């Protein structure tokens, strides 16, 4: 029998192999989720970059660069 200051519910327990296997499964699930999320992000941004490149080819920016009248002669 336990004393009033001790409890059977709080007694230390040993870590069993089933507990470590469950953590392994959680780790594998987390890694698979991260991989799937990375692939989804790569696919999404690939489409976005392709769209931006096509827009750039269609409408080049006429104000790109430095015009000769904007150059500071003191530099």
- Which tokens hold the place of 62? 């006429």
- With cut-offs at 50, 70 and 90, classify the pLDDT of residue 38: very high
Does residue 4 lie in a domain region?
A: no
Does residue 13 lie in a domain region?
A: no
Domain that holds residue 38: 22-58
- Which tokens hold the place of 68? 């000769």
User: In total, how many domains does the chain have?
Assistant: 1
- Which tokens hold the place of 14? 């040993």
Does residue 1 lie in a domain region?
A: no
Does residue 28 lie in a domain region?
A: yes
Does residue 3 lie in a domain region?
A: no
Does residue 36 lie in a domain region?
A: yes
Helix spans in the chain (H):
17-58
User: What's residue 52's pLDDT?
Assistant: 79
Distance CA 62, CA 58 (A): 12
- Residues in Cβ contact with 2 at an 8 Å cutoff, skipping those fewer than 6 apart: 8
pTM comes to 0.43
């Amino acid at each position: 029998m336990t004393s009033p200051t001790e409890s059977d519910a709080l007694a230390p327990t040993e870590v069993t192999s089933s507990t470590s296997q469950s953590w392994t499964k959680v780790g594998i699930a987390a890694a698979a989720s991260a991989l799937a999320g990375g692939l989804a992000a790569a696919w999404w941004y690939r489409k976005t970059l392709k769209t931006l490149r096509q827009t750039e080819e269609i409408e080049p920016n006429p104000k790109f660069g430095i015009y000769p009248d904007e150059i500071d002669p003191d530099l």
